[in-house]
């Protein structure tokens, strides 16, 4: 019998207790031992919860119980989650987490601490929700040099963009619905400003290129500046609008950034709608593979965290700690990266064609035009845009 504890009883915490209870036999078989829920660390009372006899308010109860060998941290944020994760590892307990903010900012430190103390530190649920992504990246693709990772890494913004494009819903209404469905963070700023996708991009880049990037340094643009006109023009140009995280290996570091992109409808990512996430990985041997599935929500995320609990138990004698790199890697600006660009401008077709011979502007209901350029880097684009009344510029995924 192995005891595990859950820190936090929010969306993911409740889901985790439920899915492990629901799949008790299968989970115990995966773990190689019977799993017993020891404690759930809470801040409030839940008198009606079926797990009410497991609730504790003091982390020291969990920390000092030698029978607890795995702690699932699903509190979120970097305050108590960071402190309790460290204390759990120091007490000889494996830690599993879905907390992308903590993993992106202190993951390497916690991973090193876990190695020192002979325990596992796993965080499959931190990127892509329920999608098996980090384990396949580090293990199934072990024979590859990973050259590029990019994808739709935030369910809330994908839900909002899909609702705006397909149902013509206003941004605020779509955001409210995403919050009701439990996709959005309590404060949606991290979702809509791209910060959540940036943290996930940092984790993917660290695991792919070993750079231990500072997420705060990754150029990040969210979806709040997008206007209905961009969705309308994108559609007329044969594209969907998606918030993408992107990281590319370079000789001397890596390019990483998060920004809305126009994605041609022929590309796999264009059809990933609603809360679904998808991440493309380009490896030296495999070529490009795409992982997709539900990127947020109670049970999908709990599914990933529960599997980490089972793996941590099974690997007690041979702890699992994914490689997040060693040194501070060089982060290279995306400005030098050539790509086609989408431009929205208030301009006559002749003015557009003078600046960009060969492009075909389309006109939307606001009277503005949208067009897609040839591939070029950002300085070249800005040079050509001089003299046009430009309202928006986004990359187009090539």
Residue 201 Cβ vs ligand HSE, minimum distance, rounded to whole Å: 12
- Report the residue number, 141 or 190, with the smaller CB distance to ligand HSE: 190
What is the biggest distance separating any 2 CA atoms in the chain, rounded to whole angstroms? 75
Which residues share a beta bridge with 392?
344
Residue 312 Cβ vs ligand HSE, minimum distance, rounded to whole Å: 20
Residue 220 Cβ vs ligand HSE, minimum distance, rounded to whole Å: 15
- Report the residue number, 32 or 77, with the smaller CB distance to ligand HSE: 77
- Report the residue number, 112 or 193, with the smaller CB distance to ligand HSE: 193
- Report the residue number, 51 or 183, with the smaller CB distance to ligand HSE: 183
For residues 43 and 57, give the distance between their C-alpha atoms in angstroms, rounded to a whole number. Answer: 6
- Report the residue number, 188 or 283, with the smaller CB distance to ligand HSE: 188
Interface residues with ligand HSE (CB under 6 A) are 129, 154-156, 183-185, 191, 196, 295-296
Q: Which of 3, 54, 93, 200 is catalytic?
A: 200
- Report the residue number, 257 or 356, with the smaller CB distance to ligand HSE: 257
Residue 183 Cβ vs ligand HSE, minimum distance, rounded to whole Å: 5
For residues 60 and 46, give the distance between their C-alpha atoms in angstroms, rounded to a whole number. Answer: 20
Residue 147 Cβ vs ligand HSE, minimum distance, rounded to whole Å: 25
Residue 365 Cβ vs ligand HSE, minimum distance, rounded to whole Å: 30
Whether 235 is catalytic is no
Q: Which residues are catalytic?
A: 200
């Amino acid at each position: 019998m192995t005891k595990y504890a859950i820190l936090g009883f929010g969306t993911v915490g409740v889901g985790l207790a439920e899915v492990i209870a629901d799949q008790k036999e299968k989970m115990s078989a995966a773990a190689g031992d019977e799993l017993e829920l020891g404690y759930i660390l809470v801040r409030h009372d839940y008198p009606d919860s079926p797990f009410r006899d497991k609730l504790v308010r003091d982390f020291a109860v969990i920390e000092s119980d030698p029978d607890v060998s795995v702690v699932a941290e699903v509190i979120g944020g970097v305050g108590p989650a960071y402190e309790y994760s460290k204390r759990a590892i120091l007490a000889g307990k494996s830690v599993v987490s879905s907390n992308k903010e903590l993993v992106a900012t202190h993951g390497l430190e916690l991973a090193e601490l876990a190695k020192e103390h002979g325990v596992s530190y796993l965080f499959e649920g931190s990127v892509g929700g329920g999608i098996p992504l980090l384990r396949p990246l580090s293990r199934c693709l072990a024979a590859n040099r990973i050259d590029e990772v990019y994808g739709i890494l935030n369910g809330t913004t994908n839900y909002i963009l899909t609702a705006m494009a397909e149902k013509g819903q206003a941004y605020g209404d779509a955001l409210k619905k995403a919050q009701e469905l439990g996709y959005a963070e309590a404060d949606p700023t991290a979702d809509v400003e791209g910060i959540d996708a940036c943290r996930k991009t940092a984790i993917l880049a660290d695991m792919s290129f070993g750079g231990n990037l500072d997420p705060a340094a990754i150029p990040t643009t969210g979806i709040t500046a997008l206007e209905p006109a961009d969705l309308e023009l994108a559609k007329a140009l044969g594209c969907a609008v998606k918030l993408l995280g992107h990281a590319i290996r370079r000789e001397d570091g890596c390019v990483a950034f998060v920004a809305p992109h126009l994605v041609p409808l022929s590309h796999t990512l264009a059809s990933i709608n609603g809360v679904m996430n998808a991440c493309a990985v380009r490896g030296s041997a495999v070529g490009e593979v795409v992982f997709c599935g539900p990127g947020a929500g109670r049970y999908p995320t709990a599914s990933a965290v529960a599997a980490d609990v089972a793996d941590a138990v099974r690997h007690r004698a041979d702890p699992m700690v994914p490689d997040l790199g060693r040194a501070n890697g060089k982060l290279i600006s995306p400005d030098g990266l050539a790509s086609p660009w989408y431009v929205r401008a208030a301009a006559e077709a002749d003015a557009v064609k003078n600046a960009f011979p060969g492009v075909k502007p389309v006109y939307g209901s606001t009277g503005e035009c949208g067009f897609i350029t040839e591939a070029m880097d950002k300085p070249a684009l800005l040079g050509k845009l001089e003299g046009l009344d430009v309202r928006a510029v986004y990359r187009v995924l090539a």
